[in-house]
Amino acid sequence: MTEDPYLYAGTNVLRNKLGITSAGELDAQERRFVIARSMQGVPKGSFDLDHLKTIHRHLFQDIYDWAGKLRTVEISKDGHQFQFRQYIETGMGDVHRRLVRADFLKGLSAEDFARASANIVGDVNYVHPFREGNGRTQLQYLKQLAQQAAHSLDLTKLDRAAWLPASREAHQARFDSMARCIERALGVPR
């Protein structure tokens, strides 16, 4: 098995600008910096791969030298393989083409936006362009997509306990659970 170049040798701790070698401490510092960068405002873009990279760079620039750069290793989580790295650009290109064709989901009801955006974000999650920080980057991408489509999405209303299994289901092209999570964050009454 090849050593992961993103990790400190013999550990599961990502190499970082802060020199932190404790996973718990790195997690705490990473969250602190990402929250601070989120509060500064997240760069806007055209919902393509460059936009996603710009968001990631903004959020993680204080922690990782590779912030905003595509991963150079294959990754999986809980037995689910993410897009092979050589297809990241193709995968995000497909997502962007679908968004352009759908006029960036403008003019949809909140329920229809939730369904359509679940499909988009589920596929962005499958592409998983970065070694770490994909989920937080995707949520900012989703929030901006909602704003562009004239919907107000409140990330604090996103049920994180439901979002993780919804992301796993989306990996299998089942987007209903993710759509329900997005509806809740949009304030759609149940």
What was the pLDDT predicted at 3? Answer: 84
Q: Which domain holds residue 171?
A: 23-186
The verdict on residue 46 lying in a domain is yes
State the distance between the two ends of the chain, measured CA to CA, in whole angstroms: 48
Chain center to CA of 179: 15
Domain count within the chain: 1
Q: What is the mean pLDDT of residues 37-50?
A: 97
pLDDT of 130-178, one tens digit each? 999 999 999 999 999 999 999 999 999 999 899 999 999 999 999 999 9
What was the pLDDT predicted at 169? Answer: 94
The verdict on residue 129 lying in a domain is yes
Query: For the chain, what percent of residues have pLDDT higher than 90?
Result: 95
* pLDDT, greater one: 2 or 63: 63
The verdict on residue 7 lying in a domain is no
Residue 1 has pLDDT above 70, yes or no: no
Residue 96 has pLDDT above 60, yes or no: yes
The verdict on residue 147 lying in a domain is yes
Domain holding 80: CATH number? Answer: 1.10.3290.10
What is d(CA 182, CA 190) in angstroms, rounded to the nearest whole number?
Answer: 12
What was the pLDDT predicted at 66? Answer: 98
Average pLDDT, the chain: 96
The verdict on residue 8 lying in a domain is no
